[in-house]
Amino acid sequence: MPQNHEYTDKSYKTPRLLLWVLIFMVTTMAGCSSERADDISAPDPVQKLISSLTLNPSATVSAVLPSTTSTPPTTPSITATTSSSPITVTPSITASITPSISASPTTSMPSIPPTASTPPITIAPSITPTASAPPVTQGPNAGYLIAIDPGHQGRGNSEQEPIGPGADESKAKVASGTQGVSTKVPEYELTLLVAFRLRDQLTARGYQVIMIRESHDVDISNRERAERATEAGADILVRLHANGSESSDAAGITTLCPSAGNPYIPHLYEPSRTLSESVQAALITATAARDRGITEADNMSGINWATIPVTIVEMGFMTNQTEDELMQTEDYQQKLVEGMANGIDEYFALASEKASSAEALLKGYPF
C-alpha cells in the first residue's frame, strides 16, 4: 500500500535527522572549546592526585611536619608512578612550611615600640644635720656660739698655774667649791644642773652652745676652760658659780668682769662689762633677788685667760640657808636660767645697735 510505505519511510528519516543535528551541535561546541584543549589534555596535578586516591585508596602519602625556620612556604612536590594493571599512584609529598608566629595565622602582630621607663622617684633629701654640718638655727640669734662653764668639779686640783698670760702670780688650777649650808649640795653639782638648763634655754632661742664640762669626773683647770672656749670659736664665755661667805646673812646675786686696768685683757673690759651688766639686770628682774651689782676683779684666772667677752655669775650664797634651799628648787633654777638668757639676748642686741656697719661688727668683740 503506497500510503503505508510513505509513512514508514518518514518514520525512518526522522531519527536520522535528529542524529545529524546532534552531531552538528557537538562539532560546534568542540570548536568553541578548542582554546581549552591544552588544559583538558594536561589535567591539574592536584586533580590527578585526587583521582589516583579515588582509584587506589591504599596510596601512601608522606609529609614533612612544618618547620619553625624563616624559609617561605614551597609548592608540594608530587611524584606519581603508574603501572598497566592495576593502576597504582604513589605520590610523595614533601612540604616545608614556616608559619608566622603571630596572634592569628593570617595576620602578624604589629611591633610595639618599647615604652619609656618610669623615672626614678626622688626623694627629697633628709633634714637631720650630719656630724659635719652645723645645727640649723633661725632668728636673730642664729650664728652666735655661747660657751657655758659650770664652775668647779668633783675633785679640786691644787696644782698651780699663772693667773694670767705672763703673770708672776699663780694659784690653784681649780677648786672643788663650796656647799649648801642646809642642803649639803656641793657647788659643782648645782652649777652643772643649772648649766644644762641654760644650755636648753639658749638652744631653744636659736643659739649654739658648747659645754666646757658635762660631768663631775673631770680635771680641767681655769686656764684650760678659757682656752677651750676660745678654741671652739665661742662669742662669749659665761661661767656659773655660787657664792660663799663667813656671814650667813650675806645674800644676793653678783656678776664679775675684768677691770679697765686689767694687765692681761684690757681690750676685753668694755664688752665684758656690758655683758655682765646685761646679765645682772635681767637676773634681778627674773628672780627679785638682792642686787649686789658688778664686781671688777683682776685676780681670777678664769677671766684673765679669756680671749672673748667673759662674765662670772654668782647665782646666790650657798652659806645663806634661804638662798641655799631656794637654789635647789626647779622653779628658782628656771628663773635664774631665763634671767641669764634674757641678759645674753640684751647683750647681742646692744652689740648690733652700737655697730656702725656689718663690716665693723667684730664677732665676739663688737664694741
pLDDT at 118: 42
Is the domain defined by 145-354 classed in CATH 3.40.50.300? Answer: no
Report d(CA 188, CA 208) in Å as an integer.
23
Domain ranges of the chain: 48-97, 145-354
Report d(CA 192, CA 201) in Å as an integer.
14
Query: Mean pLDDT for each 10-residue chunk of the chain (367 residues)?
Result: 45 60 64 46 47 44 40 43 41 40 42 45 34 48 93 96 97 95 98 98 97 97 98 98 97 98 97 98 98 97 98 98 98 98 96 68 55
Cβ–Cβ contacts within 10 Å for residue 278, how many?
23
Sort strands 236-243 and 310-317 into parallel, antiparallel or unpaired: parallel
pTM of structure = 0.62
Report d(CA 49, CA 256) in Å as an integer.
127
pLDDT at 353: 85
Cα–Cα distances in Å, from 319 out to 170, 223, 229, 322, 327? 27, 27, 30, 9, 12
Residue 197: Cβ-neighbour burial (10 angstroms; 0-12, 13-18, 19+): middle
| Reduced 3-state DSSP string for 224-236 | HHHHHHHHHCCCE
One-letter amino acid of 102:
S
Is 253 strand, coil or helix? strand
